Amino acid sequence: MLKKIVIAGRTLDQSDPQPATVTFTLEETDHPAQRTTLAGEAVLLEDIEVTCECSGTVDGNTYVGKGRAAITAQSPRITCEGNELLLVGDAVKVNCIGTSTAANGTTIGGVAASVSVAISEAGQTTGLANDN
């Protein structure tokens, strides 16, 4: 079956924020191939590290938190330069842990929030690889 591979310049889409009143700001780190390109852009390998800062309200209280995760390649049969290729649709759930502060100043630590993050093909050149 043909799969869409991912190149530098890819887009990450956020979905299913929990709770919906929290905003997630992502910082991403790619691992590009050293010698392999598609349409002049490096093919992406292994994983995309995602660091997240989140803020908003949880149960009516002000919330601030941080989290990290990695979108990891899931197709061992599709490799490049000895590493698995990332594919459109590969995803991860980023869990953030933070502090909730009430209007009276009372704080509660260890409050969780999460968001799903997936690789999309929004406007990028897409190459196909066979996983058979």
pTM of the model: 0.85
Which tens digit of pLDDT belongs to each residue from 5-17? 787 878 899 999 9
pLDDT digits (tens, 9 = 90+) for 26-36: 999 988 888 88
Cβ neighbours of residue 93 closer than 8 Å, sequence gap 6 or more: 69, 114, 115, 116, 117
Q: What is the DSSP string of the chain?
A: -EEEE-BTT-EEEEEEEESTTEEEEEEEE--EEEEEEETTEEEEBSEEEEEEEEEEEETTEEEEEEEEEEEE---TT-EETTEEBPBTT-EEEEEEEEEEE-TTS-EEEEEEEEEEEEEE-TT---EEEE--
Could you read off the pLDDT of 95-126 as tens digits, one per residue? 999 999 999 999 999 999 999 999 987 555 55
In the predicted model, what is the mean pLDDT of the chain?
A: 88
